[in-house]
Structure 1
Amino acid sequence: MRRSRDLITMGRIGVDLYPLQAGVPLAQVETFGKFLGGTATNVAVAAARLGLDAAVISRTGADPFGDYIHRALRDFGVDDRWVTPVPQYPTPVTFCEIFPPDDFPLWFYRQPKAPDLEIAADELDLDAVRAARIFWMTGTGLCAEPSRTATLTALEARAEAGTTVFDLDWRPMFWNGGPDEARPHYAAALPHVTVAVGNTEECAVATGEHRPRACAEALLAAGVELAVVKQGPKGVLAVHRDGTVAEVPPVPVEVVNGLGAGDAFGGSLCLGLREGWGLERTMRYANAAGAIVASRLACSSAMPTRAEVEELLRER
């Protein structure tokens, strides 16, 4: 009998090289830490830390960084069977600068092409995709072929099966034509998903709207059941098709590196969806998980356990 996983994510994977000195320009940094990275991957790690059975669909280079990624995924308890090598492209590397509380520039090294954009539709295990309780895909997966067609094929295969989450994941450096190029592809994906999640800039790319409530309403009109709009220091707005609304403030912490907070939020969102929690409880839990990661240096290795999230919620 086919195993039904709690979560399968599909999309970006790579190695994050983060400075071990904060407040220092990249040109002056002397030491770096090496971490597993990539939005879809970090969401799977975050969910696994919270006890979900998670797997990733992605591609690496056939190189030592690819070997590192497999070892790291297994160490985090994430199934790596659908992470395979693409010999002609190197595993992507991402650098950042750390200027707390809100400036964390990123440099993506994904040339001439990232292997995770080489996922082909005929390589997908569509039975596993259908069987997953939650399937998570990203906007980056729509930015190039064959990943775009593979992502849409996975969405079509899901049909009415389980919960399907579209992480809007807007990365302008991956799109030559900016929002105008991306919006039609986002529009093609939205009717196939049940949940859309993104910050206000990402929601604006998907919908053309800029105000949080207008973004949420536009996403609902596009066909989703739940729109989650992250508003940074203003917290998060979640609007369900049934009229339920949750607007939850952030959890205040001393920020060290805010880059992984959204991925921790995503993993916790999956937990709430899997457990059938109410909207406000899910948003408060996800905010707390994101705050914990923002108070730490890394992304993947900083993802909290349930005990850590619950302790922070009790304290606050």
Structure 2
Amino acid sequence: MLKVISFGEALIDMLSNRISDSQGAVDQPSDTESFTKYPGGAPANVAAAVAKLGGNSYFAGKVGADMFGDFLVQSLEDLNVQTDYLVQTQEAKTALAFVSLDSTGERSFEFYRGPSADLLFRPDDFKPDWFQGPGIFHFCSNTLTEPGILEATHAGVEIARSAGWLVSFDANLRANLWPQGADPYESVWHCVQQADLVKLSAEELDFLCRGQDEPEVIGRILAGRAVLVLVTDGGKPLRYFTAEGAGTIAPKTVTMVDSTAAGDAFVGGLLFRLSQLDITGARLGELAQDTRQLEGVLSFASACGAHAVTRAGAFTSLPALTDISGEH
């Protein structure tokens, strides 16, 4: 089973007890609002998802040397995520994200992040011995928002590529994390072109299109390094694209409670299966040509995402292998 390193932000999701409608009105406005802390951050969620399924999972990043950082370290270790590459720093506090849900389980975020500890990871925090042997390196776009962490992200990708690792990129675009007036377009496109595996939501694909047709943009992605492009759209069918063709995977119908970790559970399930199959960057093309095996991997990942939305929180909603194995 391959080693999987998820790099980026680990933060605290402060989940509100109130349910709002699509206009922002709450169900019981006279009640006192309270927030419950959950471990979160997309790459940390992915690391937890891989580990909970039984994978060889590592998380790389920085958190504060504070009560929230301690909570995150312990939460990751409780799920058997290796935290050797997770640094606690006195220079900044752990980031917070206040999360509100509507009546369908869709969430909205308000971030308290800058400056925060996760933004202080630097290129020399990566160590070459992390990348000994084959493996998978996964990252998102939230480490592109400031120059220092952007440089570190590019360094991590380059080290992973040089070591022959499979590089996985989930755009996971959060516009409210970027400086006012900043345009993430070029930075996100650069990372899309550096990855072997690219995962986008339908909204993120639309963001990348900017007036171009979807097939043209998918073709542009596949003309670069990417071997597999995945486009998720909530409860609608997953779409996948390779140089050999395209297809869809219909998700399981479930009652959604909280969508916070849906995409991360999907990615975690995907990376876990790829690690089980020893799919390195060099072997991803073989998988892309085997439609039956590829769709089996994607169906497993889709089931992981479907399981996650039926429970509240991020880490707390992630499936164990026994939760999914009966279906696959």
TM-score, normalising length: structure 2: 0.86
| 1:309 shift after superposition | 1.4
| 1:157 shift after superposition | 1.4
Q: How does 1:228-267 map to 2 (within 5 A)?
A: 228-241=230-243, 243-267=244-268
Is the contact made by 2:65 and 2:88 (CA closer than 8 Å) also made in structure 1? yes
Q: How does 1:3-42 map to 2 (within 5 A)?
A: 6-23=3-20, 24=26, 28=31, 30-42=33-45
Greater helix share, structure number: 1
User: In 1, Cα distance between the equivalents of 2:8 and 2:144?
Assistant: 9
Is the contact made by 1:50 and 1:304 (CA closer than 8 Å) also made in structure 2? yes
Q: How does 1:122-161 map to 2 (within 5 A)?
A: 122-129=124-131, 131=133, 133-159=135-161, 161=164
Q: How many residues align?
A: 307
* Structure 2 residue 310 is the aligned partner of structure 1 residue 295: yes
| 1:132 shift after superposition | 5.1
1:60 corresponds in structure 2 to 63
Query: Residues 205 and 291 of structure 1: is their aligned pair in 2 closer, same or farther, counting only changes over 3 Å?
Result: same
More displaced, 62-71 or 42-51? 62-71
Query: Residues 5 and 287 of structure 1: is their aligned pair in 2 closer, same or farther, counting only changes over 3 Å?
Result: closer
| 1:126 shift after superposition | 2.8
| 1:104 shift after superposition | 1.4
Residue from 61, 77, 80 that aligns with 1:77 = 80
Residue from 177, 196, 207 that aligns with 1:194 = 196
| 1:110 shift after superposition | 1.0
Give the match's secondary structure for 2:9: coil
| 1:171 shift after superposition | 0.6
Gaps of 5+ in 1: none
2:177 corresponds in structure 1 to 174
1:105 corresponds in structure 2 to 108
| 1:58 shift after superposition | 0.9
| 1:61 shift after superposition | 1.4
2:274 corresponds in structure 1 to 273
Q: Deviations over 1:243-262 (max 9, x none)?
A: 14330122111110011110
User: In 2, Cα distance between the equivalents of 1:177 and 1:203?
Assistant: 22
Q: Deviations over 1:8-56 (max 9, x none)?
A: 0111111112134545479755443321100000000001011111111
**In the alignment, residue 253 of structure 2 is paired with which amino acid?**
P
Is the contact made by 1:8 and 1:129 (CA closer than 8 Å) also made in structure 2? no
| 1:190 shift after superposition | 2.9
**In the alignment, residue 309 of structure 1 is paired with which amino acid?**
I
User: In 2, Cα distance between the equivalents of 1:153 and 1:52?
Assistant: 25
Give the match's secondary structure for 1:170: coil
| 1:207 shift after superposition | 4.8
More displaced, 8-17 or 219-228? 219-228
Query: Residues 25 and 143 of structure 1: is their aligned pair in 2 closer, same or farther, counting only changes over 3 Å?
Result: farther
2:319 corresponds in structure 1 to 304
1:285 corresponds in structure 2 to 300
User: In 2, Cα distance between the equivalents of 1:208 and 1:150?
Assistant: 28
| 1:272 shift after superposition | 2.4
User: In 2, Cα distance between the equivalents of 1:203 and 1:128?
Assistant: 32
Q: How does 1:197-212 map to 2 (within 5 A)?
A: 197-208=199-210
Query: Residues 220 and 26 of structure 1: is their aligned pair in 2 closer, same or farther, counting only changes over 3 Å?
Result: farther
Give the match's secondary structure for 1:159: helix
Is the contact made by 2:201 and 2:233 (CA closer than 8 Å) also made in structure 1? yes
CA RMSD of aligned residues (A): 2.4
**In the alignment, residue 239 of structure 2 is paired with which amino acid?**
L
Give the match's secondary structure for 1:192: coil
| 1:222 shift after superposition | 3.4
